[in-house]
Amino acid sequence: MRPRSLQFTLVPMKAPAALVGLVLLSALVGPPAPAQTADPPLLTLERIFAEKEFKPDTFGPARWLEQGAAHTTLEPPAGAAPAAGSDGTGVRELVRYDTASGRREVLVSAERLTPPGATAPLEIADYSWSPDGKQLLLFTETRRVWRTNSRGDYWVLDLGTKTLRKLGKDAPPSALMFAKFSPDGRRVGYVRENNLYVEDLGDGRTRATYTLDSDPGRIIGMLIRGPVESVIRSMLVNARPGELKQRVEGGA
- Does residue 216 sit in helix, strand or coil? helix
What is the DSSP code string of 222-240? HH--SHHHHHHHHHHHHHH
- Is the pTM value of this prediction over 0.85? no
- CA dist 176 and 150 (Å) reads 8
CATH 2.40.128 applies to domain 55-249: yes
Q: For the chain, what are the domain ranges? A: 55-249
Cβ-proximal residues to 69 (8 Å cutoff; 6+ apart), any chain? 98, 99, 100
pLDDT per residue, tens digit, the chain (252 aa), is 555 555 545 445 555 555 555 555 565 555 555 555 555 567 787 777 777 677 777 777 899 998 899 999 999 887 665 554 445 568 899 999 999 999 999 999 988 999 988 889 999 999 999 999 999 999 999 998 888 888 999 999 999 888 999 998 889 999 999 999 999 889 999 988 888 888 988 877 777 666 655 555 554 444 444 455 455 455 555 555 555 555 555 544
How many Å apart are CA 27 and CA 197, to the nearest integer?
Answer: 89
- Amino acid residing at 89: T
DSSP character at residue 68: G
